[in-house]
Amino acid sequence: MSLRYAHLFDSTVRTEYERALNLAKSHTGPMPTGRTQLPITDITDGGWKDAPAIKSRLAGGYCLRAPAQGSCPYANICEHCPSFHTDATHLGVLAAQRVDAHDLAEDAEKRGWIDEAKRHRTLVSRLDALIAQSETA
């Protein structure tokens, strides 16, 4: 019986979510199309790590956020997840991510973004553990 009610609840939540989303879309109107993204060099003078932004090094790239946006609650979430697994084939990526996280921590400290620096230092510690685990596996 619980499974039946859970299924009904899921469909109710979805219906209400879609209704709210459609209502929000009707209030905002059409979204602009054809917006040109700024080239990263316009923002960074050539290097993303030097940008005056809150930065995160991701395995497949990087993220830049305006300081007014604050830290991303999802930044580097996968590396801290207990389901995240890696091995020696990824040591190069992990090592490069560690170097960048260390640099970003120092940059954040210089800018006075203490919480952001702490987030990067926590990632460095986690990457150290993942690298050590991968090297011994």
pLDDT (tens digit per residue) in 39-67: 555 555 667 777 778 888 777 677 888 88
136-to-30, 78, 97 alpha-carbon distances in Å: 54, 21, 19
pTM for the structure as a whole: 0.62
| Spatial distance between the Cα atoms of 3 and 116, rounded to a whole number of angstroms | 43
| Spatial distance between the Cα atoms of 19 and 25, rounded to a whole number of angstroms | 10
Using DSSP's 3-state secondary structure scheme, residue 103 falls into helix
What average pLDDT score do residues 21-38 get?
Answer: 67
β-partners of residue 58 are 61
What integer pLDDT is reported at residue 103 of this predicted model? 94
Task: Choose the most confident range, by mean pLDDT, from 5-19, 25-39, 120-134.
Answer: 120-134
List CB contacts of 131: < 8 A, sequence separation 6 or more: 91, 94, 95, 98
| Spatial distance between the Cα atoms of 95 and 132, rounded to a whole number of angstroms | 11
Q: Which residues of 108-124 are buried (b: 16+ CB within 10 A; e: fewer)?
A: beeeebeebbebbbebb
